[in-house]
Amino acid sequence: MATNALYSVAMSTLLISHPAFLDHDTGEYHPERPDRLRALLGALEDPAFDGLTRVEAPMATHEQLVRVHPAELIETILSVRPPPGELVNVDPDTVISAGTAEAVQRAAGAVVLAVEAVMGGKCSNAFAAVRPPGHHASATLPGGFCLFNNVAIAARYAQKKHGLSRVLIVDWDVHHGNGTQHSFEDDPSVLFFSTHQFPHYPGTGRESEHGRGAGEGYTINVPMEAGGGDDEYRAVFHDVLVPAAAQFQPELVIISAGFDAHKDDPLASMGLTEAGYAELTGIVAGIARRHAQGRILSSLEGGYNLTALAASVDAHVRGLLAA
């Protein structure tokens, strides 16, 4: 992957990743493992993706991280440096290894770079192939494989640096993005939309959770019954997300792109296929085209069957290229 930032190919899709993401070691049997990234990046080596502009993720700055997470938490996470081969558990599911500090800073740096590229008109849209994921990390509490909340960092950066007043976050990961919801639940400048299996981890995301205070009505949760597939997701996106986005008029669309609602994923019981992910990508691209000058930033979250993950990312990125 290219190491420079010369992503000036007119209105291409930007692919941002980095070898450091493979150094976030989670242990031999952990589902959120480096092979996930190897599988999807391997799929994106197909000649069909020659139109991608590929760059490496930079390190996020402290200033970019602290817009979402308190300095004390940032310092704590980055200061944990176990010897190679050893792991430190943040909770039973979330671990820190020798390579984690660089990985989490580059994951956040990837989405910041994506915002810069999309807002600067240097690409049509961007896909950040990062790990660890981020949407379960609240401002003050890591968890669910997540340490820093990448999409929240991207949204706050876009608001601070580019003066955006309306950002839409679409989270189609099978697990509710509780950390993202918590980050924006009292904020009317960010519309958070989530589809997720319910009941399921982390136990949040009821339809009755729709924001609080000034943010009342700017959180939209659509709990999905186990087994729901392409038809059910398509209907929800058309019937709920499209009109909500039309009312909100976002200036930037961010996707928390988890692919664990796939029918073959081992950590859930939904029925999406890669064709379904292609459809969802198309619907979100239409929203971005109508309201946000086509600006889309997609950041990898879950997806734990390697074959299904690779096929779903293939379909998703094809959709971004066609947007």
- Sketch the domain layout of the chain as residue ranges: 13-322
Quote the pLDDT of residue 1.
61
Quote the pLDDT of residue 159.
98
Quote the pLDDT of residue 124.
92
- Among 18, 135, 136, 316, which one carries the catalytic annotation? 136
Quote the pLDDT of residue 228.
98
Closest CA to 53 of 108, 23, 26, 15: 15
Q: At what angle do helices 34-43 and 306-322 cross, to 10 degrees?
A: 50
Quote the pLDDT of residue 6.
44
| Residues in the chain, pLDDT under 70 | 1-11
Q: How many CB atoms lie within 10 A of CB 29?
A: 6
Quote the pLDDT of residue 128.
98
CATH superfamily of the domain spanning 13-322: Histone deacetylase domain (3.40.800.20)
Catalytic annotation present for 238: no
Residues sharing a CB contact under 8 Å with residue 170, sequence separation 6 or more, in sequence order: 193, 241, 253, 254, 255, 256, 284
Query: How far apart, in whole angstroms, are the C-alpha atoms of residue 53 and residue 143?
Result: 32
Quote the pLDDT of residue 4.
43
- The sign of the dihedral angle between the CA atoms of 26, 256, 192, 11 is positive
CA 81 to chain centre: 25
Rg for the chain (alpha carbons), in Å?
18
Helix (H, G, I), strand (E, B) or coil at 289: helix
Helix (H) or strand (E) holding 125: strand 125-128
Q: Residue 31 has what DSSP assignment?
A: S
Residue pair 149/69 in contact by the 8 Å Cβ criterion? yes
Quote the pLDDT of residue 11.
66
Indicate the pTM of the whole model. 0.97
Residues making up the chain, counted from first to last: 323
Closest CA to 215 of 177, 237, 248: 248
Query: How far apart, in whole angstroms, are the C-alpha atoms of residue 90 and residue 92?
Result: 7
